[in-house]
Amino acid sequence: MNSNIPKLLLIMIMFLVSTLGHSQPNSNSLKAEYKTITVTKDIPYREGNSDAWKLDLAMPQNFGATIRPALVIIHGGGWAGGSKSVDVYQKMMVDYAQKGYVTINVEYRLTGEAGFPACIEDVKCAVRWLRAHAKELSIDPDRIGAYGHSAGAHLALMLGMVPKSAGLEGDGGWDEHSSVINVVGAGSPPTELGRDVPMAKKEWWPIGYIAKIGTPLFLIQGTNDRIVRPELTRDFVEKMKVVGANIEYLECEGQHGVAYNENLSITEPALETFFAKHLNP
């Protein structure tokens, strides 16, 4: 007889004894214990020929029936590059969905396809799409925030500051809904272009809309940013404070990547606290 057989029998007996009285977990108990989300890619938010008019959607699946806040994520890239598919924005979309937000990650036309103000019009259209589908997505249309970095921060600020009367809504549809969001977080935010070029028109930049708006703003700036000059961001913040706007400002050591891939141990919890304070996930 093979001398290994008693050893195998012993192992089998020990396994059977160890499982007695222990029921195996079923899929229902796992679904109840672990919060899950769904992610849908490349949803068109308007009709037309551009491949840029798409968004990704992440939302809680088994968090209960509560009406939820939404978060619009807008990628950077100098208005000429970048994509919603960048890992940083995909991770943020998923992370905030797991916190209880319905999140969308928006693509928009870059300047190589369409000049200014097409990018502004596109993100405004995406917000109107979101409000148009608020009921089926279980969204509170009065609790919509936005976050963007760099060029995306500029677009997020425009969503929070620019009224319909400015004429930047575009022709994407969903016109019965507002494109103005309720809360804005902005990392390394270009508040003005600072150069005498056609793109520097004040009506296309947050600096052109200094007013006591109801939208809470949170700007994050790197002290050594060579792309977005800190003095311009400080000037914008001070102008907004003078008129009584609800604005918070965090300046931390770093370059253009703060709140993107630098100083995340500071900026990520600061953003999470800010959005939770105003959107109550």
Dihedrals phi, psi of 105, to nearest 5 degrees:
-120, 110
- 54 touches 42 (CB < 8 A): yes
Dihedrals phi, psi of 55, to nearest 5 degrees:
-140, 155
The domain total for the chain is: 1
Tell me whether residue 27 is in a domain: no
Predicted confidence (pLDDT) per residue in 12-59, tens digit: 434 333 444 444 545 555 555 778 999 999 999 999 999 999 999 999
pTM of the model: 0.87
- pLDDT for position 35: 81
Tell me whether residue 93 is in a domain: yes
Q: From residue 268, give the alpha-carbon distance in Å to each of 2, 86, 94, 96, 261.
A: 62, 17, 14, 11, 10
- 221 touches 190 (CB < 8 A): no
Tell me whether residue 157 is in a domain: yes
Tell me whether residue 29 is in a domain: no
Tell me whether residue 1 is in a domain: no
Residue span of the structural domain in which 100 resides? 38-279
Predicted confidence (pLDDT) per residue in 216-254, tens digit: 999 999 999 999 999 999 999 999 999 999 999 999 999
Q: Hunting for tokens 């995306």 — which residue is that? A: 152
Tell me how far the alpha carbon of residue 165 is from its chain's centroid. Answer: 25
- Looking at residue 155, which CATH number applies to its domain? 3.40.50.1820
Lowest average pLDDT, out of 2-6, 104-108, 143-147, 193-197, goes to 2-6
Tell me whether residue 58 is in a domain: yes
User: Would the pLDDT of 1 be above 70?
Assistant: no
Long-range contact pairs involving 135-141 (C-beta distance under 8 Å, separation at least 24): 137/57, 137/59, 137/70, 137/102, 138/59, 138/65, 138/66, 138/67, 138/68, 138/102, 139/67, 139/68, 139/69, 139/70, 139/102, 140/67, 140/68, 140/69, 140/70, 141/177
